[in-house]
């Protein structure tokens, strides 16, 4: 899940030691829903462990919230819960760790045994995880299908349509 590039989460974490924000994107589904939950991120004070959810900055300046798959000598290997490609991230680019999130009005701490069990179950079978992720995105596309068809049939008029340019 990505955060806005114009917000300096690292600076806010250094100043306040904890931040809350609503992440966007589906890369952390099913743990986090797109724009559906607030997350609480604490300043990283120690080496992260596998299955922690880290807040880091990519080289292009984008803030990303992904799960630590394993630690390396120079940093971490990260992956979103609904993704299957791994990303190497340098230690100095990681500045926060998710301590919990709100699912509706319920706050879920990452130290909660039930949460930990769900995460381990999610990662226990890659085949089952791939199936569920593909099903999720298929159903999402199915929901928006009527809108896309109508847009294709009737289209949105371009504002400049009808304005003839001089040759």
pLDDT tens string 6-37: 568 889 999 999 999 999 988 998 889 887 78
What angle, 0 to 180 degrees and rounded to 10, lies between the N-to-C axes of helices 113-124 and 126-154? 80
Check residue 162 and give its pLDDT: 45
Most confident of 53-57, 59-63, 153-157: 53-57
Percent of the chain with pLDDT over 90: 55
Which range is least confidently modeled, 51-60, 116-125, 154-163? 154-163
Minimum mean pLDDT range among 24-28, 93-97, 117-121, 136-140: 136-140
| pTM (two decimals) | 0.78
Alpha carbons 50 and 67: distance in angstroms, whole number: 8
- In angstroms, the CA 2 to CA 24 distance is 6
At 146 the pLDDT is: 82
């Amino acid at each position: 899940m990505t955060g806005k590039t114009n917000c300096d989460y690292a600076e806010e974490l250094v100043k306040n030691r904890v931040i809350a924000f609503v992440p966007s994107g589906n890369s952390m589904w099913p743990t986090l829903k797109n724009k559906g939950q607030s997350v609480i991120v604490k300043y990283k004070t120690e080496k992260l462990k596998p299955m922690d959810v880290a807040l880091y900055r990519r080289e292009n300046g984008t803030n990303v919230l992904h799960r630590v798959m394993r630690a390396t000598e120079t940093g971490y290997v990260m992956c979103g819960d609904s993704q299957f490609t791994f990303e190497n991230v340098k230690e100095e680019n990681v500045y926060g760790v998710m301590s919990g999130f709100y699912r509706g009005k319920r706050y879920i701490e990452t130290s909660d045994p039930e949460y930990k069990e769900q995460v381990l179950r999610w990662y226990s079978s890659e085949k089952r995880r791939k199936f569920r992720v593909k099903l999720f995105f298929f159903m999402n596309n199915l929901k928006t299908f009527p809108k896309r068809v109508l847009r294709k049939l009737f289209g949105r008029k371009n504002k400049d349509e009808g304005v003839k340019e001089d040759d």
